[in-house]
Amino acid sequence: MQKSHEEYLRRCIEVSRLSREHGNTPFGCILVDSDGNILMEQENVEITEGKCTGHAETTLMEKASQTYSKDYLWSCTLYSTAEPCAMCSGAMYWGNVGCVVYAMSEKALLRLTGSDGQNPTFNLPCREVFARGQKEIKVLGPYPALEEEAAEVHKNFWNT
């Protein structure tokens, strides 16, 4: 029996906790196939690996694109704790993921991160990024019932 979107998002929140415990910014994502199997999980790695592109979603898409075909990835869903930024949305677009689900909006994230230089949040919803392309990537989110839970992992992390 396949899990609900909320259950997958809760797993992302757990991955974001691990990311923070491992010294990275508190973001996480997972890739799920059409049968509901979790194929990959990814924490942010920008701090520990010193990569400005080390966001969880971009890192996961790099790995997924080397592991699975574009046709297969189109049938997959990427779940994320926060709305994907423009860079991560681009990685998902080029990687060919067919569906994106996120817990917390970019605007909610901005309220948490404030002016912290480590996360200069874009005011560019992922739906707008995808709308400029030639594919109809399905987007679900935010999930208001989970925004507070996703935000809790960020508590006392950012220098707002």
* DSSP-based three-state secondary structure for 94: helix
Rounded distance, CA 88 to CA 111, Å?
A: 20
Q: Distance from first CA to last CA of the chain, Å, rounded?
A: 42
Give yes or no: 57 in active site: yes
Contacts of 11 (CB under 8 A, 6+ apart): 30, 38, 41, 79
Please choose, from the candidates 37, 47, 18, the residue with its C-alpha nearest in 3D space to the C-alpha of residue 77: 37
Catalytic residue among 43, 46, 57, 106: 57
Residues involved in catalysis: 57
